[in-house]
Amino acid sequence: MFVTRKHLSRREVLRGIGVSIALPLLDSMVPAQTPLRKTAAAPQPRLAAIEIVHGAAGSTLDGGAKHYWSPAKDGPDFEFTPTLQSLEPYREYVTIVSDTDLNNARALSPSEEGADHTRSSAVFLTAAHPKMTEGSDILLGASIDQIYAQKFGQDTPLPSIQLCIEDVGSLSGACGYGYSCVYANTISWASPTTPLPMEMDPRVVFERLFGDGATAGERLERRQADRGILDRIVHEIPRLERDLGPSDRSRLNDYLDDVREVERRIERIEKYNASGEARALPEAPVGVPDSFEEHVRLMFDLQALAFMSGVTRVASFKMSRDVSSRVYPVSGVKTPFHALSHHGEKPETIAEFAKLNQYHVGKVAYFIDKLKNTPDGDGNLLDHAVVLYGSPMGDSHIHDHKRVPLFLAGHAGGRLRGNLHLRCAPGTPMANVLLTLLHKLGVEDVESIGDSNGLVAI
């Protein structure tokens, strides 16, 4: 019997003027009668690292006793807490890690006291202690997203993407307490001296994922002509479809529909923001929606498209910024974020803070659901990815970095089992989780990160 199925390259793209649409993994990209895991098309694990600031109610003494974040039971088959309730449909993918400390976010000398908000984000993925400086002689450590990207992201169009929701400002200048603003404004460090900027504008991210060297003027001309990126490659689609089976054609059409819908949503936002109507965020770029819900969903959808198409395997996402006074009306909480995080150890205020924590986790659940329902080779994106979500603070009222909130979601290509609550021994560095995750992702030559002193059993 002859095998006649045509084999497409995993790097096949649909091209137009100023447009390059990478494709999802299709059956036609796998050589006939060859197990996927033995081919170049085998999915490499994706990593999405997400930071939320200001800790969690469950890291307080009152919140810990009431199990606002950490389940009461260790091991598998634990009961999800109210804060993490939205993750229950994905139990088999979820790993909750309790009672780790982010030691290097603390002040290590009297002169560093009071600068926790400036240091915290820098330590989240590096576990390193920032050098106290307001000048250009910054020094920290490489973050795990970039360590992974440097080993497994160099054969993708973008080694990594860095996103944020709120305007975190520039990577220069002084932010008080003797520290450069750079430490507060990004969670991604390519090296101890190379911070990477975070992007908040969905339009910029979209163009980065699907642009192909067009100038800013050409991109503007395309948008003004009301022509989406798919209009530029519509002639290419029939040519490709001739070589695809029915299931591949269906998957391709679903993917292109997702790309088209994301672009339409961005266009609607830009049209409204340019209309002259009053904006809640008047200083934000025209592509940024005033609604947190709309903004965060767009950023998660863009990450899912990037992972689906193989444009990148690595994303870092800063969902807020330290001392943010943002209010989240949909959460039912009316107190600004930073003010509520200083709960004064009052049980009723801590309970309100837990409600806001629950709201933020629910936004991540949307992303997890998106990954789970996106086919990818012999499984789905969540099978082949890991989402790390947490905060570099614990009890934010006292700027503490003990018992930081943290969970993982995804199987990382079968390397994480899920359905696990791991309660670590008191004093365990969060760096141990970061190091373990790197090893699970195949970066086994890294022996330590930050203040790590071992591995954890996840």
pLDDT single digits (tens) 397-412: 999 999 999 999 999 9
Pairing of strands 314-318, 46-51: parallel
Is the pLDDT at 248 greater than 70? The verdict is yes
User: What is the average per-residue pLDDT within 320-336?
Assistant: 95
Residue range 77-98, pLDDT digits in tens? 999 999 999 999 999 999 999 9
- Strand 46-51 to 385-390 pairing: parallel
pLDDT average, residue stretch 106-131: 95
Q: Which CATH architecture has domain 45-200+292-440?
A: 3-Layer(aba) Sandwich (3.40)
What is the per-residue pLDDT for 212? 66
Residue 232 has pLDDT above 70, yes or no: yes
- Report the pLDDT averaged over residues 202-220: 78
Is residue 140 within 8 A of residue 130, CB to CB? The reply is yes
Q: What is the mean pLDDT of residues 151-175?
A: 87
Contact 211, 219 (CB under 8 A): yes
Report pLDDT for 282: 85
86 φ, ψ to 5°?
A: -65, -10
Which pLDDT band, with edges at 50, 70 and 90, does 214 fall under? low
Summarised one tens digit per residue, pLDDT across range 333-349 is 999 999 999 999 999 99
More confident residue, 169 or 419: 419
How confident is the model over 240-248, as a mean pLDDT? 89
**Residue at token pair 């807020």:** 320
pLDDT, average across residues 216-235: 72
For the chain, give the percent of residues with pLDDT over 70: 92
Which residue in the block uniquely carries the two structure tokens 């910029």? 204
**pLDDT for the residue numbered 359:** 98
Q: Poorest-confidence range of 123-137, 276-290, 444-458?
A: 276-290
Give residue limits of the domains in the chain: 45-200+292-440, 214-287
Instruction: Assess whether pLDDT exceeds 90 at residue 15.
Output: no
Check: pTM over 0.85? Answer yes or no: yes
93: tokens are 């993918």
- Whole-number pLDDT of residue 229: 85
Q: Would you state the pLDDT for residue 3?
A: 40
pLDDT at 216 over 50: yes
Q: Strand locations in 110-199, DSSP E?
A: 161-164, 189-191, 194-195
Per the CB < 8 A criterion, the answer to whether 40 and 10 are in contact is yes
- The pLDDT of residue 2 is 38
**Three-class secondary structure of residue 257 per DSSP:** helix
The per-residue pLDDT for 132 is 96
Does the pLDDT of residue 384 top 70, yes or no? yes
User: Where would I find the H helices in 274-383?
Assistant: 292-309, 337-341, 347-372
Q: What is the pLDDT of residues 131-162, one digit of tens each?
A: 999 999 999 999 999 999 999 999 999 999 99
- Binned at pLDDT 50, 70 and 90, residue 202 comes out as very high
Whether the per-residue pLDDT at 169 is higher than 90: the answer is no
**Chain-wide mean pLDDT for the chain?**
91
State yes or no: pLDDT of 35 exceeds 90.
Answer: no
**pLDDT tops 60 at residue 126:** yes
Render 293-319 in DSSP notation, one character per residue.
Answer: HHHHHHHHHHHHHHHHHTS-SEEEEE-
pLDDT digits (tens, 9 = 90+) for 251-291: 999 999 999 999 999 999 999 999 988 888 888 889 999 99
